[in-house]
Amino acid sequence: MSRDVTIRSCLSLPPVSDPPVLTMGWNVSAKVEYACMAMLDLAAMERLDRPVQQKRMADRHEIPAQFLVQILQQLKAAGLVISTRGALGGYQLARSADSITLWDVVAAVQGDADRDAFQNRSSLAANVLRAVWQNVSVAERAVLQETTLAQLARRMDVASEPMYFI
């Protein structure tokens, strides 16, 4: 037994393990996530060139139906989807999946929500943190603007292809 383990056990301290990995994920609201899933669903169905029914989308992705209706209305108002009425109606992308980015979707449903919690604070710590949050926001926006629905739909195609093992 190593000296460190012996000392730690005598002091009733937990064994030393690897330091925790700090991950700071992007805080995505349910609304944004549902909007992105719906748009990705429409992108994946784009080649069929027919509307996708809202109920099927809601069922497929376990999105509350009434919430999805509100989200689709916002996406329609932003010019990202079109709707067709009738028994064979539903929603389609308003333009090519290659030309719609995740940023377009997020901006349509989130709007210009102010995420600067330190806006009204003028302490040195708040100013330092504000600069970091602004850098994170710039990087976040760049990733969302570079990622198209078509790219994500292709990832889904690859992930759904059967794998053969010999």
- pLDDT per residue, tens digit, the chain (166 aa), is 444 444 334 444 445 555 544 445 567 889 999 999 999 999 999 888 889 999 999 999 999 999 999 999 999 999 999 999 988 889 999 999 999 999 999 999 987 554 545 566 778 888 888 888 888 889 999 999 999 999 999 998 876 666 565 6
Q: Is residue 18 part of a domain?
A: no
Give the single-character DSSP code of 111.
T
Distance of CA 99 to the CA centre of its chain: 18
Handedness of CA 145, 151, 155, 160 (dihedral sign): positive
User: Which structural domain range is residue 115 located in?
Assistant: 28-160
Q: Is residue 138 part of a domain?
A: yes
Q: Is residue 13 part of a domain?
A: no
Number of structural domains found in the chain: 1
Domain harbouring 62, CATH code: 1.10.10.10
Helix (H) or strand (E) holding 54: helix 54-61
Tell me how far apart the alpha carbons of residues 65 and 99 are, in angstroms, rounded to a whole number. Answer: 27
Tell me how far apart the alpha carbons of residues 9 and 15 are, in angstroms, rounded to a whole number. Answer: 8
**Which long-range contacts (C-beta less than 8 Å, at least 24 apart) are formed by 65-73?**
67/30, 67/31, 67/34, 68/34, 68/38, 71/31, 71/34, 71/35, 71/38, 71/109, 72/38
Structure pTM?
0.74
Give the single-character DSSP code of 93.
E
Q: Is residue 150 part of a domain?
A: yes
Helix (H) or strand (E) holding 145: helix 124-146
Q: Is residue 94 part of a domain?
A: yes
At residue 113, what are phi and psi to the nearest 5 degrees?
-60, 125
Q: Is residue 91 part of a domain?
A: yes
Tell me how far apart the alpha carbons of residues 54 and 33 are, in angstroms, rounded to a whole number. Answer: 16
Please report the pLDDT score of residue 10 as a whole number: 40
Q: Is residue 22 part of a domain?
A: no
Q: Is residue 15 part of a domain?
A: no
Tell me how far apart the alpha carbons of residues 90 and 45 are, in angstroms, rounded to a whole number. Answer: 12
Token pair 């109606």: residue: 89
Please report the pLDDT score of residue 159 as a whole number: 67
